Amino acid sequence: MKTILTGDRPTGRLHLGHYIGSLQNRVKLQDEYETFILLADVQALTDNAHQPEILRDNIFQVALDYLSVGLDPDKCAFVIQSCIPEIAELTVLFMNLVTVAHVEKNPTVKSEIAQKGFGESLPLGFFCYPVSQAADITAFGAHLVPVGNDQAPMIELCRDIVERFNRLYGDTLVLPEAMYAQFGRLPGTDGSAKMSKSIGNTINLSDDEKTVSQKVMSMFTDPNRVTGKEPGNVENNPVFTYHDAFNPNRERVAQLKELYRKGGENEKGKPMLGDVTVKRELATALNEMLGPIRERRAQLEATPDFVWDVLRDGTSRGKKRAEDVMVRVRESMKIAYF
């Protein structure tokens, strides 16, 4: 069986962007691959060193998210990154195989740095996290990395490092492939390019029905549609992007789009299709999808010991794998002494 490695930073609960960008893929792939899923708390520290206490609670919350979307702990090992010092060791060794210039060019890191407004106080650890992410992937011998397409530069860097390593020290490391979700990046509820906790434009998998409806009703739509009678723009309209992503009733979505594009008014002088209707139907579709996820979550919340057992067990499976890989790395590099 081939191996999957993927992960999330446990800085908050997971949202619809995670769901469409990678969780759904992981659930599908867990039967075909040995799967390791990293709760990347060390990576999360690269911009949260001043508040490490948020990670413990969020590791638990993210584990709940995993279990409630249907990741099966018998098939997937949930691995807490900080418990695997081999990753840190491999990161240090990889640092010598990457140029500063290469990391500087990474578009995802560049935009994150700009968005977080680090300026002169950019932590070196944050700047280097793509290198440690390459170590995450290779420490488990992963063949496949299912991620959102914003992670493409990380996988490319990882592949460069692995190729360089294997050329210098002999064929040792598995060259990983990325697997991107079919659906591109999910915009935030405010219409900005990405759903992100730090922007505050997310719909979380754990949001209750009322919260989901409220967030949907306040979503950004076509700003030029003032009365609802103007012909509306469906493209670049996050409400329709979400319909495309989450509403299983494709026929109705097509119909909504058509009416929205047309605009116009009915015999009572009201808009043919107001934004409110489009949003209400979206909220219903989302709540239907999230219903079973919420139910499972509520059951699991009542058994926290079970969740921590899942984490302990997954982490120990991950640790064994990373130890094996590191033995081979040290031997290839001729730094295995005793």
Distance CA 41, CA 121 (A): 21
Structure tokens at 336: 């295995």
Give which of 154, 181, 173, 142 is closest to 36, Cα–Cα: 142
The neighbouring-strand residues paired with 6 are: 37
Task: Give the shortest CB-248-to-ligand TRP separation in angstroms.
Answer: 26
Distances (CA, A) of 156 to 45, 152, 178, 217, 326: 23, 6, 9, 39, 22
Residue 2 C-beta: closest distance to ligand TRP, Å: 15
- Whichever of 9 and 215 has its CB closer to ligand TRP, that residue is 9
Q: What residues line the site for ligand TRP (CB under 6 A)?
A: 5-9, 38, 40, 43, 133, 136-137, 145, 147, 151
7 vs 12, beta carbon nearer ligand TRP = 7
For ligand TRP, the closer of residues 43 and 48 by Cβ is 43
Nearer to ligand TRP, 7 or 141 (CB): 7
Q: C-beta of 263: minimal distance to ligand TRP in Å?
A: 39
Instruction: Report the nearest approach of ligand TRP to the CB of residue 178 (Å).
Output: 9
Q: Which two tokens stand for residue 16?
A: 């619809």
Measured from the CB of residue 277, what is the shortest distance to ligand TRP in angstroms? 34
For residue 50, the minimal CB distance to ligand TRP (Å) is 19
- Residue 2 or 250 with smaller CB distance to ligand TRP: 2
Residue among 136 and 275 whose Cβ is closer to ligand TRP: 136
